[in-house]
Amino acid sequence: MKSQFTTGSLLSAWAHRQPDRVAVIDAQSGHGWSYRELDQASSNLARFLGERGIGARDIVAYLTTDSLLVINLLFAVGKLGAIWCPLNPNAAPADWARQLDHAGGTAVLYDDALTDRLMPWADSLNHVQAWIPRRAALDLSRDPEPFPSQAHDADDAGILYTSGTTGARKGARHTHRSLWGWNYSLLTSVGMTRDDCLINPYPLFHMGGVGFTLAAIQAGASAVLVTPFHPAQFVDSVTAYGGTITLMVPTMVQSVLDLPPAERDQLNQANLRQLITTSAPLLGETRREMSRTWPRLKISVLYSATEAVFSLLRDDRAQDPLCVGKPAFGMEVAIFQEPPALSLTGEAGTIYCRGVSVFAGYHHALDQFQAYAEDWFTCGDVGYLDAAGYLYLLDRDKDQINSGGEKLSSLEIENVLRQHPWVKEVAVVGVPDRYWGERVHAVVVARDRRLTQEILLAFAIERLPRYKLPKSLALVAELPKTETGKILKRALRETQGTPRG
């Protein structure tokens, strides 16, 4: 008997219980599916893929901006017992080829508009047995008969390649069971239920786009996909669809805050009750601006990764910019100097977690990245736990600055610089220095053209100890970012100094 905790089985269960409730809407087109329609559409697509020789454990990559087709494909592939693998439509064809080669993809569903860019690489990818253009996947015969799930919950469900903000991209494997756990930890921690409408602005080749949408459907809620993200369209979607909850990276939040007051203040009149930031640290000044602008909103900070959900911060420690809350539901967090040596309370070390949301391992590289210590997982972030069990995120291990033998937190310095009203964005990195080993270097995007290096350094001198002050500062037009808005500090180190790690 097949497990009931697979993605396909969960969808079918909700389709039986609430067939007419909206499951997913594409805000770009305004089209959507009820639970019954999504269940039927994914059954039809599963049959179509099966007729093309795709079956259990085959890896189906997708390269499309069609949001509804992606969601349909996730469930269709899940019903087949196959494995989905997103590709970034905005990446270079060479990147697609490398990822397909590493993943061992056996089928690729792609946008017809990408044919000329994709096909020159097809001959070099001998393991790909089926190239499926988007139009073929849309022109399907409609069969009302269900397609029962062929998967067990221990089977792999998907491979998501991480964003590579600190180094090589890694293919994180989630089984149906670990994906269910990732979703359940998120849902229980943030309080999302079947009565909610999630507004999701993440792209669907990212864990935020895939995971948050699958979590909403696992809860029986509705998901509105607002991708690609545009701040004005995001606000319009919240009001038009009655969104109650959203998850965003801080740079998305900042772009909404930068809208004219008449637009951004619409969120105060909408049904939105909770805004959760994730994927990158939320600077203290940004949180204070959010509270002033949207006083009705419950603001939370989710500390998570493709591989696991770590912790959630609500309002109780909101004024401490380094606090990321208590462990997420079903999760345990610990600080190790080097496993099995636990850190004392308040002592900084590497953050590890274990529990229901942890992924199944890295594809073809289970021990290459040294992520595990027994059943503990780490992203390499540095922090500490206080006596009450709250987790404080000091920095990513590779983003800490070793200046004169002192380990300095780039996040702490960024929080101070961001308090200046003329600063829009800031990133602090360590760059090589003959005397200090590394010096503190700040890269700043100005909100006001009157901002100068001298003004900002004078501001910092009043708020930071001397050894934490930036030794150099650059004013730039924009910061390099991933598709989801995470700042690429690795790229900054490459352009502002010498890359490391």
Residue that wins the pLDDT comparison between 468 and 327: 327
pTM (two decimals)? 0.85
pLDDT in tens, 22-42: 999 999 999 999 999 999 999
Residue that wins the pLDDT comparison between 483 and 202: 202
The residue-averaged pLDDT of 156-175 equals 79
pLDDT in tens, 112-148: 999 999 988 888 888 999 999 999 999 887 888 889 8
Residue 480 has pLDDT above 80, yes or no: yes
State the DSSP H helix or E strand holding residue 349, giving kind and residue range, or none if neither: strand 349-355
35-139+147-180 and 229-356+363-398 share one fold: yes
Half-sphere exposure of 316 (CA within 13 A, CB side): 9
Q: What CATH code would you report for 407-496?
A: 3.30.300.30
Half-sphere exposure of 54 (CA within 13 A, CB side): 31
Helix (H, G, I), strand (E, B) or coil at 76: helix
- pLDDT more than 70, % of the chain: 93
The residue-averaged pLDDT of 421-431 equals 92
The residue-averaged pLDDT of 258-280 equals 92
What single letter denotes the amino acid at residue 452? T
Cα dihedral 205, 206, 208, 209, rounded to 10, equals: -10
Contacts of 243 (CB under 8 A, 6+ apart): 197, 198, 199, 224, 237, 270, 271, 272
- The pLDDT of residue 395 is 77
Q: pLDDT tier at 373 (50, 70, 90 boundaries)? A: low
Q: pLDDT tier at 500 (50, 70, 90 boundaries)? A: very low
Distance CA 490, CA 427 (A): 11
- The pLDDT of residue 164 is 54
Which residues are registered as beta bridge partners of 332?
Answer: 354
Which residues are registered as beta bridge partners of 282?
Answer: none
Whether 407 and 423 have beta carbons less than 8 Å apart is answered as no
Q: pLDDT tier at 163 (50, 70, 90 boundaries)? A: low
Distance CA 395, CA 381 (A): 6
The residue-averaged pLDDT of 438-452 equals 93
Distance CA 277, CA 376 (A): 25
Residue in 241, 342, 268 with CA at minimum distance from that of residue 30 = 241
Q: pLDDT tier at 79 (50, 70, 90 boundaries)? A: very high
Q: What CATH code would you report for 35-139+147-180?
A: 3.40.50.980
The end-to-end CA distance of the chain, in Å, is 47
- The pLDDT of residue 482 is 79
- Domain positions in the chain are 35-139+147-180, 229-356+363-398, 407-496
Residue 1 has pLDDT above 50, yes or no: no
Of 14-18, 233-237, 430-434, the least confident: 430-434
- What is the CB neighbour count within 10 angstroms for residue 90? 11
Of 43-57, 99-113, 190-204, 370-384, the least confident: 370-384
- pLDDT more than 90, % of the chain: 67
Mean pLDDT, all residues of the chain:
89
Q: What superfamily does domain 229-356+363-398 belong to in CATH?
A: ANL, N-terminal domain (3.40.50.12780)
